Structure 1
Amino acid sequence: MAAVKPPQPKPSDPSPKSVAPPLHRMLLWPALAACLGALLLCNSFGIGLGSPAGDAKMQQTRPAAAAPSPRTPLPAAAAPLSRSEPTRLTIPTIAVDAPFTALDLGKSGRLNPPPADNTNLVGWYRGGATPGERGAAIVAGHVDTKTGPAVFLLLRTLKPGELVNITRKDGAVATFKVDSVETFSKADFPDKRVYGDTTDAQLRLITCGGAYDRDAQDYVDNVVVFAHLDSAKGA
Protein backbone atom coordinates (compact mmCIF):
# COMPACT_ATOMS: atom_id res chain seq x y z
CA MET A 1 0.00 0.00 0.00
CA ALA A 2 1.20 3.45 -0.67
CA ALA A 3 2.59 5.29 2.31
CA VAL A 4 2.16 8.87 3.32
CA LYS A 5 2.90 11.30 6.08
CA PRO A 6 0.86 10.06 9.02
CA PRO A 7 -1.69 12.36 10.67
CA GLN A 8 -0.71 13.75 14.05
CA PRO A 9 -1.80 11.48 16.95
CA LYS A 10 -4.94 12.53 18.81
CA PRO A 11 -4.34 14.18 22.17
CA SER A 12 -6.01 11.28 24.03
CA ASP A 13 -4.40 8.88 22.92
CA PRO A 14 -1.03 2.02 9.53
CA SER A 15 10.31 -7.86 6.05
CA PRO A 16 7.18 -8.69 5.06
CA LYS A 17 6.90 -5.05 4.04
CA SER A 18 4.12 -2.89 5.37
CA VAL A 19 0.43 -2.84 4.12
CA ALA A 20 -0.37 0.64 5.03
CA PRO A 21 1.40 3.96 4.70
CA PRO A 22 2.55 6.33 7.43
CA LEU A 23 -0.28 8.60 8.42
CA HIS A 24 0.39 11.68 10.64
CA ARG A 25 -2.03 14.52 10.10
CA MET A 26 -1.09 16.75 7.20
CA LEU A 27 0.14 19.86 9.04
CA LEU A 28 3.37 19.84 7.04
CA TRP A 29 1.92 18.19 3.95
CA PRO A 30 3.38 20.49 1.24
CA ALA A 31 6.94 19.96 2.47
CA LEU A 32 6.73 16.19 2.77
CA ALA A 33 4.31 15.16 0.04
CA ALA A 34 7.07 14.00 -2.26
CA CYS A 35 8.51 11.68 0.39
CA LEU A 36 5.15 10.19 1.28
CA GLY A 37 4.48 8.85 -2.19
CA ALA A 38 7.48 6.58 -1.89
CA LEU A 39 6.06 4.66 1.06
CA LEU A 40 3.99 1.96 -0.57
CA LEU A 41 1.15 0.45 1.42
CA CYS A 42 1.37 -3.17 0.30
CA ASN A 43 5.13 -3.10 0.36
CA SER A 44 5.21 -1.74 3.86
CA PHE A 45 2.52 -4.12 4.96
CA GLY A 46 3.77 -7.26 3.31
CA ILE A 47 0.36 -7.83 1.80
CA GLY A 48 1.47 -8.96 -1.59
CA LEU A 49 3.84 -11.72 -0.57
CA GLY A 50 1.57 -14.61 -1.44
CA SER A 51 0.63 -16.07 -4.79
CA PRO A 52 -1.52 -13.79 -6.95
CA ALA A 53 -3.68 -16.76 -7.89
CA GLY A 54 -6.13 -16.06 -5.08
CA ASP A 55 -6.56 -12.47 -6.23
CA ALA A 56 -7.28 -13.62 -9.78
CA LYS A 57 -10.04 -15.92 -8.52
CA MET A 58 -11.47 -13.05 -6.52
CA GLN A 59 -11.77 -10.94 -9.66
CA GLN A 60 -14.08 -13.54 -11.15
CA THR A 61 -16.23 -13.80 -8.01
CA ARG A 62 -17.76 -10.34 -8.06
CA PRO A 63 -17.46 -7.57 -10.67
CA ALA A 64 -15.26 -4.66 -9.71
CA ALA A 65 -17.10 -1.60 -8.43
CA ALA A 66 -17.05 1.50 -10.57
CA ALA A 67 -16.04 4.72 -8.87
CA PRO A 68 -18.65 7.50 -8.89
CA SER A 69 -18.05 10.63 -10.88
CA PRO A 70 -15.71 13.01 -9.03
CA ARG A 71 -18.32 15.72 -9.58
CA THR A 72 -20.94 13.80 -7.63
CA PRO A 73 -21.25 15.40 -4.17
CA LEU A 74 -20.68 12.96 -1.33
CA PRO A 75 -23.52 12.44 1.15
CA ALA A 76 -23.22 14.14 4.50
CA ALA A 77 -21.60 12.03 7.22
CA ALA A 78 -23.25 11.43 10.59
CA ALA A 79 -22.02 13.41 13.58
CA PRO A 80 -18.54 12.25 14.65
CA LEU A 81 -18.12 10.09 17.74
CA SER A 82 -15.66 10.51 20.57
CA ARG A 83 -12.35 8.66 20.40
CA SER A 84 -12.52 4.90 21.04
CA GLU A 85 -10.40 2.05 19.74
CA PRO A 86 -11.93 -0.38 17.23
CA THR A 87 -12.31 -4.03 18.20
CA ARG A 88 -14.01 -5.74 15.24
CA LEU A 89 -14.67 -5.15 11.54
CA THR A 90 -17.57 -6.72 9.67
CA ILE A 91 -18.42 -6.26 5.99
CA PRO A 92 -21.44 -8.50 5.31
CA THR A 93 -21.38 -8.34 1.50
CA ILE A 94 -17.84 -9.80 1.29
CA ALA A 95 -18.05 -12.02 4.40
CA VAL A 96 -15.44 -10.12 6.42
CA ASP A 97 -15.56 -10.63 10.20
CA ALA A 98 -12.20 -9.86 11.75
CA PRO A 99 -10.64 -8.49 14.93
CA PHE A 100 -8.37 -5.46 14.99
CA THR A 101 -4.78 -5.00 15.98
CA ALA A 102 -3.20 -1.57 16.53
CA LEU A 103 -0.45 -0.54 14.11
CA ASP A 104 2.45 1.82 14.68
CA LEU A 105 5.11 3.37 12.49
CA GLY A 106 8.37 1.49 12.09
CA LYS A 107 11.85 3.01 12.10
CA SER A 108 11.61 3.55 8.34
CA GLY A 109 8.51 5.71 8.76
CA ARG A 110 6.24 3.06 7.25
CA LEU A 111 3.29 1.57 9.03
CA ASN A 112 4.12 -1.82 10.50
CA PRO A 113 1.98 -4.65 9.08
CA PRO A 114 -0.49 -6.87 10.88
CA PRO A 115 1.08 -10.27 11.63
CA ALA A 116 1.43 -12.22 8.39
CA ASP A 117 0.66 -15.51 10.13
CA ASN A 118 -2.94 -14.44 10.82
CA THR A 119 -4.91 -14.08 7.60
CA ASN A 120 -8.09 -12.92 9.36
CA LEU A 121 -6.80 -9.78 11.06
CA VAL A 122 -7.02 -6.09 10.20
CA GLY A 123 -4.93 -3.24 11.52
CA TRP A 124 -5.68 0.39 12.26
CA TYR A 125 -3.21 3.25 12.62
CA ARG A 126 -3.52 4.24 16.26
CA GLY A 127 -1.62 7.48 15.77
CA GLY A 128 -4.55 8.84 13.73
CA ALA A 129 -8.32 9.04 14.05
CA THR A 130 -10.21 6.07 15.45
CA PRO A 131 -13.10 4.81 13.27
CA GLY A 132 -16.08 7.09 13.86
CA GLU A 133 -13.97 9.95 15.20
CA ARG A 134 -13.57 13.12 13.13
CA GLY A 135 -10.88 12.58 10.51
CA ALA A 136 -9.86 9.82 8.13
CA ALA A 137 -9.43 6.55 10.05
CA ILE A 138 -6.97 4.22 8.31
CA VAL A 139 -7.60 0.47 8.28
CA ALA A 140 -5.37 -1.93 6.37
CA GLY A 141 -5.31 -5.66 5.78
CA HIS A 142 -3.63 -8.30 3.66
CA VAL A 143 -5.12 -9.41 0.36
CA ASP A 144 -3.08 -12.58 0.70
CA THR A 145 0.05 -13.88 2.41
CA LYS A 146 2.49 -16.71 1.77
CA THR A 147 -0.05 -19.07 3.33
CA GLY A 148 -2.98 -18.11 1.07
CA PRO A 149 -5.92 -15.67 0.68
CA ALA A 150 -6.44 -13.16 3.47
CA VAL A 151 -9.07 -10.91 5.01
CA PHE A 152 -9.19 -8.24 2.26
CA LEU A 153 -9.19 -10.65 -0.69
CA LEU A 154 -12.55 -9.33 -1.92
CA LEU A 155 -12.16 -5.71 -0.83
CA ARG A 156 -12.01 -4.35 -4.34
CA THR A 157 -15.40 -5.86 -5.17
CA LEU A 158 -17.25 -3.60 -2.72
CA LYS A 159 -19.75 -1.27 -4.33
CA PRO A 160 -20.90 2.26 -3.43
CA GLY A 161 -23.69 2.15 -0.88
CA GLU A 162 -22.56 -1.08 0.78
CA LEU A 163 -21.97 -1.00 4.53
CA VAL A 164 -18.92 -1.47 6.73
CA ASN A 165 -19.49 -1.99 10.47
CA ILE A 166 -16.86 -1.32 13.11
CA THR A 167 -17.45 -2.27 16.73
CA ARG A 168 -15.58 -0.04 19.15
CA LYS A 169 -14.23 -0.49 22.66
CA ASP A 170 -16.87 1.89 24.05
CA GLY A 171 -19.60 -0.48 22.84
CA ALA A 172 -20.70 1.66 19.90
CA VAL A 173 -21.04 0.17 16.42
CA ALA A 174 -20.06 2.70 13.76
CA THR A 175 -21.59 1.97 10.36
CA PHE A 176 -19.86 3.43 7.32
CA LYS A 177 -21.32 3.66 3.83
CA VAL A 178 -18.99 3.09 0.87
CA ASP A 179 -18.61 6.12 -1.39
CA SER A 180 -16.15 4.68 -3.90
CA VAL A 181 -13.67 1.86 -4.45
CA GLU A 182 -10.64 2.90 -6.43
CA THR A 183 -7.35 1.40 -7.57
CA PHE A 184 -4.20 3.50 -7.69
CA SER A 185 -0.74 2.76 -9.01
CA LYS A 186 1.80 2.76 -6.21
CA ALA A 187 3.96 4.92 -8.44
CA ASP A 188 1.28 7.63 -8.50
CA PHE A 189 -0.58 7.27 -5.21
CA PRO A 190 -2.82 10.24 -4.19
CA ASP A 191 -1.46 10.58 -0.64
CA LYS A 192 -3.27 13.76 0.30
CA ARG A 193 -6.64 12.51 -0.93
CA VAL A 194 -6.35 9.23 0.95
CA TYR A 195 -4.64 10.38 4.14
CA GLY A 196 -5.56 14.06 4.35
CA ASP A 197 -7.53 15.38 7.30
CA THR A 198 -11.31 15.69 6.97
CA THR A 199 -13.94 17.77 8.72
CA ASP A 200 -16.21 14.76 9.30
CA ALA A 201 -15.82 11.07 10.15
CA GLN A 202 -14.35 9.15 7.23
CA LEU A 203 -12.88 5.68 6.73
CA ARG A 204 -10.21 4.35 4.39
CA LEU A 205 -9.80 0.61 3.87
CA ILE A 206 -6.57 -0.23 2.06
CA THR A 207 -5.00 -3.33 0.56
CA CYS A 208 -2.99 -4.41 -2.48
CA GLY A 209 -4.30 -4.96 -6.00
CA GLY A 210 -3.49 -5.01 -9.66
CA ALA A 211 -0.85 -7.20 -11.26
CA TYR A 212 1.63 -9.15 -9.18
CA ASP A 213 5.33 -8.43 -9.73
CA ARG A 214 7.08 -11.70 -8.96
CA ASP A 215 10.52 -10.11 -9.02
CA ALA A 216 9.54 -7.51 -6.41
CA GLN A 217 7.20 -9.98 -4.65
CA ASP A 218 4.58 -7.26 -4.50
CA TYR A 219 1.46 -6.02 -6.24
CA VAL A 220 1.78 -2.92 -8.40
CA ASP A 221 -1.38 -1.15 -7.18
CA ASN A 222 -3.30 -0.27 -4.04
CA VAL A 223 -7.05 -0.68 -3.63
CA VAL A 224 -8.65 2.02 -1.49
CA VAL A 225 -12.23 2.07 -0.21
CA PHE A 226 -13.51 5.55 0.65
CA ALA A 227 -16.42 5.59 3.11
CA HIS A 228 -18.22 8.02 5.43
CA LEU A 229 -19.87 7.48 8.82
CA ASP A 230 -23.53 6.77 8.09
CA SER A 231 -24.86 5.93 11.57
CA ALA A 232 -23.85 4.72 15.02
CA LYS A 233 -25.58 2.49 17.55
CA GLY A 234 -24.87 2.41 21.26
CA ALA A 235 -22.80 5.60 21.15
Structure 2
Amino acid sequence: MAASPPPPSGTQPAPSDEGTRSSTTWLWGAAFMVLAVLMLSGRNSSSDPAYPPRTTQAGASASSAAHPVGKHLPRSRPKRLLIPKISVDAPFTDLALGSSGHLQPPAADDVNLVGWYAEGASPGEAGTAIIAGHVDTATSAAVFVDLSELEKGDKFYVARADGRKASFVVDDVETFEKDDFPDRRVYADTPQAQVRLITCAGDYDRDVKDYTENLVVFAHLI
Protein backbone atom coordinates (compact mmCIF):
# COMPACT_ATOMS: atom_id res chain seq x y z
CA MET A 1 0.00 0.00 0.00
CA ALA A 2 2.53 2.91 0.34
CA ALA A 3 6.06 2.66 1.84
CA SER A 4 6.79 1.15 5.24
CA PRO A 5 7.39 1.19 9.05
CA PRO A 6 6.79 -1.44 11.68
CA PRO A 7 4.41 -4.22 10.71
CA PRO A 8 2.14 -5.98 13.20
CA SER A 9 3.88 -8.14 15.78
CA GLY A 10 4.06 -11.88 15.37
CA THR A 11 5.59 -14.15 12.78
CA GLN A 12 3.67 -15.14 9.72
CA PRO A 13 4.67 -17.67 7.06
CA ALA A 14 6.15 -16.66 3.73
CA PRO A 15 4.06 -17.06 0.57
CA SER A 16 3.85 -20.65 -0.62
CA ASP A 17 3.87 -19.88 -4.35
CA GLU A 18 4.21 -17.03 -6.82
CA GLY A 19 0.43 -16.73 -7.17
CA THR A 20 -0.07 -16.02 -3.49
CA ARG A 21 0.42 -12.41 -2.52
CA SER A 22 1.26 -11.34 0.96
CA SER A 23 -1.19 -9.41 3.09
CA THR A 24 -0.70 -5.68 3.13
CA THR A 25 -0.42 -3.35 6.07
CA TRP A 26 -1.12 0.33 6.11
CA LEU A 27 0.87 2.63 8.29
CA TRP A 28 1.16 6.36 8.55
CA GLY A 29 3.43 8.58 10.60
CA ALA A 30 2.62 12.14 11.62
CA ALA A 31 4.44 14.99 13.31
CA PHE A 32 2.72 18.36 13.48
CA MET A 33 0.50 17.86 10.44
CA VAL A 34 3.07 15.83 8.51
CA LEU A 35 1.94 12.41 7.33
CA ALA A 36 4.26 9.62 6.33
CA VAL A 37 2.34 6.94 4.52
CA LEU A 38 3.88 3.52 4.63
CA MET A 39 2.96 0.07 3.56
CA LEU A 40 4.29 -3.36 4.47
CA SER A 41 3.50 -6.96 3.80
CA GLY A 42 1.56 -8.37 6.71
CA ARG A 43 3.80 -11.44 6.55
CA ASN A 44 6.94 -9.51 7.33
CA SER A 45 7.56 -10.20 11.02
CA SER A 46 10.39 -7.70 11.32
CA SER A 47 9.78 -4.64 13.48
CA ASP A 48 11.95 -2.47 11.25
CA PRO A 49 10.71 -0.65 8.15
CA ALA A 50 11.59 -2.13 4.81
CA TYR A 51 11.89 1.34 3.35
CA PRO A 52 12.20 4.81 4.87
CA PRO A 53 8.90 6.69 5.17
CA ARG A 54 7.95 9.34 2.71
CA THR A 55 6.53 12.54 4.18
CA THR A 56 4.24 15.22 2.86
CA GLN A 57 2.47 18.23 4.25
CA ALA A 58 -1.10 17.15 4.91
CA GLY A 59 -3.61 18.93 7.07
CA ALA A 60 -5.55 17.04 9.71
CA SER A 61 -9.28 17.34 10.30
CA ALA A 62 -10.62 20.54 11.80
CA SER A 63 -7.87 22.87 10.57
CA SER A 64 -8.83 22.15 6.96
CA ALA A 65 -12.35 23.50 7.43
CA ALA A 66 -11.43 27.13 8.15
CA HIS A 67 -12.61 28.24 4.72
CA PRO A 68 -14.28 25.23 3.09
CA VAL A 69 -15.12 25.39 -0.59
CA GLY A 70 -17.92 23.45 -2.20
CA LYS A 71 -20.15 20.75 -0.80
CA HIS A 72 -19.14 19.37 2.58
CA LEU A 73 -20.58 17.82 5.73
CA PRO A 74 -19.81 18.33 9.41
CA ARG A 75 -17.31 16.01 11.03
CA SER A 76 -18.67 12.55 11.85
CA ARG A 77 -17.11 9.15 12.40
CA PRO A 78 -17.39 6.80 9.39
CA LYS A 79 -19.18 3.52 10.07
CA ARG A 80 -19.23 1.54 6.81
CA LEU A 81 -17.69 1.84 3.35
CA LEU A 82 -20.01 0.80 0.53
CA ILE A 83 -18.68 0.34 -3.02
CA PRO A 84 -21.48 -1.38 -4.98
CA LYS A 85 -19.47 -1.92 -8.17
CA ILE A 86 -16.94 -4.18 -6.43
CA SER A 87 -19.27 -5.53 -3.71
CA VAL A 88 -17.53 -3.81 -0.80
CA ASP A 89 -19.54 -3.44 2.41
CA ALA A 90 -16.97 -3.05 5.16
CA PRO A 91 -16.80 -1.56 8.65
CA PHE A 92 -14.23 1.04 9.61
CA THR A 93 -11.56 0.94 12.24
CA ASP A 94 -9.67 3.99 13.47
CA LEU A 95 -5.99 4.20 12.60
CA ALA A 96 -4.13 5.87 15.46
CA LEU A 97 -0.53 6.81 16.10
CA GLY A 98 1.64 4.29 17.90
CA SER A 99 4.63 4.98 20.10
CA SER A 100 6.89 5.02 17.03
CA GLY A 101 4.96 7.95 15.57
CA HIS A 102 3.40 5.79 12.88
CA LEU A 103 -0.24 4.93 12.48
CA GLN A 104 -1.15 1.42 13.50
CA PRO A 105 -2.54 -0.71 10.62
CA PRO A 106 -5.96 -2.34 10.36
CA ALA A 107 -6.05 -5.89 11.73
CA ALA A 108 -4.22 -8.10 9.23
CA ASP A 109 -6.42 -11.10 9.98
CA ASP A 110 -9.70 -9.34 9.06
CA VAL A 111 -10.20 -9.46 5.30
CA ASN A 112 -13.27 -7.21 5.38
CA LEU A 113 -12.06 -4.15 7.25
CA VAL A 114 -10.96 -0.68 6.19
CA GLY A 115 -8.93 1.81 8.20
CA TRP A 116 -9.49 5.54 8.51
CA TYR A 117 -6.84 8.05 9.61
CA ALA A 118 -8.92 9.32 12.53
CA GLU A 119 -6.86 12.47 13.17
CA GLY A 120 -7.45 13.61 9.60
CA ALA A 121 -10.64 14.70 7.89
CA SER A 122 -13.63 12.42 8.21
CA PRO A 123 -15.19 11.28 4.90
CA GLY A 124 -17.51 14.07 3.80
CA GLU A 125 -15.80 16.74 5.90
CA ALA A 126 -13.81 19.48 4.17
CA GLY A 127 -10.30 18.09 3.71
CA THR A 128 -8.65 14.93 2.46
CA ALA A 129 -9.91 11.77 4.15
CA ILE A 130 -7.57 8.78 3.96
CA ILE A 131 -9.03 5.26 3.79
CA ALA A 132 -6.78 2.20 3.64
CA GLY A 133 -7.54 -1.44 3.01
CA HIS A 134 -5.72 -4.71 2.47
CA VAL A 135 -5.59 -6.15 -1.03
CA ASP A 136 -5.13 -9.72 0.21
CA THR A 137 -3.93 -11.84 3.11
CA ALA A 138 -1.86 -15.00 3.45
CA THR A 139 -4.93 -17.10 2.78
CA SER A 140 -7.44 -15.12 0.75
CA ALA A 141 -8.34 -11.96 -1.11
CA ALA A 142 -9.20 -8.95 1.05
CA VAL A 143 -11.50 -5.94 0.97
CA PHE A 144 -9.66 -3.92 -1.71
CA VAL A 145 -8.70 -6.78 -4.03
CA ASP A 146 -10.90 -5.36 -6.82
CA LEU A 147 -10.25 -1.68 -6.18
CA SER A 148 -8.49 -1.34 -9.54
CA GLU A 149 -11.82 -2.00 -11.29
CA LEU A 150 -13.16 1.40 -10.28
CA GLU A 151 -13.28 4.03 -13.02
CA LYS A 152 -13.92 7.73 -13.29
CA GLY A 153 -17.59 8.40 -12.61
CA ASP A 154 -18.15 5.38 -10.37
CA LYS A 155 -19.79 6.10 -7.04
CA PHE A 156 -19.23 4.85 -3.52
CA TYR A 157 -20.66 5.72 -0.15
CA VAL A 158 -19.69 6.14 3.49
CA ALA A 159 -22.33 5.52 6.15
CA ARG A 160 -21.59 7.89 9.04
CA ALA A 161 -22.31 7.94 12.75
CA ASP A 162 -24.58 10.98 12.32
CA GLY A 163 -26.95 8.89 10.20
CA ARG A 164 -25.97 10.49 6.91
CA LYS A 165 -24.62 8.62 3.92
CA ALA A 166 -21.87 10.59 2.20
CA SER A 167 -21.78 9.98 -1.55
CA PHE A 168 -18.54 10.19 -3.51
CA VAL A 169 -17.69 10.04 -7.20
CA VAL A 170 -14.39 8.76 -8.51
CA ASP A 171 -12.25 11.38 -10.24
CA ASP A 172 -9.29 9.20 -11.11
CA VAL A 173 -7.69 5.81 -10.41
CA GLU A 174 -3.92 5.68 -10.67
CA THR A 175 -1.09 3.31 -9.88
CA PHE A 176 2.29 4.63 -8.74
CA GLU A 177 5.67 3.01 -8.32
CA LYS A 178 6.62 3.18 -4.67
CA ASP A 179 9.89 4.97 -5.40
CA ASP A 180 8.00 7.62 -7.36
CA PHE A 181 4.94 8.10 -5.15
CA PRO A 182 3.39 11.63 -5.43
CA ASP A 183 2.99 12.24 -1.69
CA ARG A 184 1.80 15.81 -1.91
CA ARG A 185 -0.76 15.08 -4.58
CA VAL A 186 -2.20 12.15 -2.66
CA TYR A 187 -2.07 13.35 0.93
CA ALA A 188 -2.04 17.15 0.81
CA ASP A 189 -5.04 18.73 2.46
CA THR A 190 -7.77 20.35 0.34
CA PRO A 191 -10.56 22.83 1.08
CA GLN A 192 -13.00 20.47 -0.67
CA ALA A 193 -14.36 17.24 0.79
CA GLN A 194 -12.20 14.59 -0.87
CA VAL A 195 -11.30 10.95 -0.22
CA ARG A 196 -8.34 8.76 -1.12
CA LEU A 197 -8.81 4.99 -1.20
CA ILE A 198 -5.40 3.34 -1.12
CA THR A 199 -4.09 -0.20 -1.37
CA CYS A 200 -1.19 -2.24 -2.74
CA ALA A 201 -0.68 -3.01 -6.41
CA GLY A 202 1.90 -4.35 -8.80
CA ASP A 203 4.08 -7.38 -8.22
CA TYR A 204 4.93 -8.86 -4.87
CA ASP A 205 8.66 -8.56 -4.20
CA ARG A 206 9.69 -11.56 -2.11
CA ASP A 207 13.05 -10.04 -1.24
CA VAL A 208 11.59 -7.04 0.57
CA LYS A 209 8.23 -8.65 1.37
CA ASP A 210 6.32 -5.78 -0.16
CA TYR A 211 4.40 -4.84 -3.27
CA THR A 212 6.06 -2.72 -5.93
CA GLU A 213 3.23 -0.21 -6.46
CA ASN A 214 0.37 1.63 -4.81
CA LEU A 215 -3.14 2.03 -6.18
CA VAL A 216 -4.90 5.29 -5.32
CA VAL A 217 -8.54 6.17 -5.99
CA PHE A 218 -9.16 9.93 -5.99
CA ALA A 219 -12.74 10.98 -5.25
CA HIS A 220 -14.84 13.92 -4.08
CA LEU A 221 -18.14 14.41 -2.25
CA ILE A 222 -21.26 14.90 -4.37
Could you tell me which residue of structure 1 aligns to residue 2 of structure 2?
Answer: 2
1:188 lines up with 2:176 in the alignment? no
1:178 lines up with 2:170 in the alignment? yes
Q: CA RMSD in A?
A: 2.3
Report SS of the residue matched to 1:139.
strand
Q: Distance in 1 between matches of 2:78 and 2:132?
A: 13
**5 Å matches for 1:9-88?**
15-16=7-8, 18-22=25-29, 36=36, 39-40=37-38, 42-43=39-40, 46=41, 79-88=71-80
Report SS of the residue matched to 2:26.
coil
Q: Distance in 1 between matches of 2:219 and 2:32?
A: 18
Does the Cα contact within 8 Å between 2:202 and 2:212 map onto a contact in 1?
yes
Larger displacement relative to structure 2 (109-118 or 143-152): 109-118
Q: CA, structure 1 residues 18+137, in 2 after alignment: closer, same or farther (shift >3 Å)? A: same
Percentage identity across paired residues of the two chains = 55
Could you tell me which residue of structure 2 aligns to residue 141 of structure 1?
Answer: 133
Q: CA, structure 1 residues 124+179, in 2 after alignment: closer, same or farther (shift >3 Å)? A: same
Q: Distance in 2 between matches of 1:179 and 1:23?
A: 26
Aligned to 1:121, which of 110, 113, 136? 113
CA deviation after TM superposition for structure 1 residue 21, in Å: 3.0
Q: Distance in 1 between matches of 2:145 and 2:30?
A: 23
Structure 1 or 2: larger strand share?
2
Aligned to 1:101, which of 93, 96, 101? 93
Does the Cα contact within 8 Å between 2:200 and 2:213 map onto a contact in 1?
yes
Does the Cα contact within 8 Å between 1:48 and 1:144 map onto a contact in 2?
no
* Structure 2 residues not aligned, in runs of 5+: 9-23, 45-68
Structure 1 or 2: larger helix share?
1
Q: CA, structure 1 residues 24+2, in 2 after alignment: closer, same or farther (shift >3 Å)? A: farther
Could you tell me which residue of structure 2 aligns to residue 53 of structure 1?
Answer: none
CA deviation after TM superposition for structure 1 residue 112, in Å: 1.3
Q: Distance in 2 between matches of 1:193 and 1:25?
A: 19
Aligned residues: 181
Q: TM-score, normalization: structure 2?
A: 0.75
Q: Distance in 1 between matches of 2:95 and 2:76?
A: 15
Q: Distance in 1 between matches of 2:166 and 2:42?
A: 26
Could you tell me which residue of structure 2 aligns to residue 56 of structure 1?
Answer: none
Q: CA, structure 1 residues 194+130, in 2 after alignment: closer, same or farther (shift >3 Å)? A: same
Could you tell me which residue of structure 1 aligns to residue 16 of structure 2?
Answer: none
Report SS of the residue matched to 2:199.
strand
Could you tell me which residue of structure 1 aligns to residue 159 of structure 2?
Answer: 167
* Structure 1 residues not aligned, in runs of 5+: 5-14, 50-76, 231-235
CA deviation after TM superposition for structure 1 residue 116, in Å: 0.9
Could you tell me which residue of structure 1 aligns to residue 219 of structure 2?
Answer: 227
Q: Distance in 2 between matches of 1:212 and 1:21?
A: 21
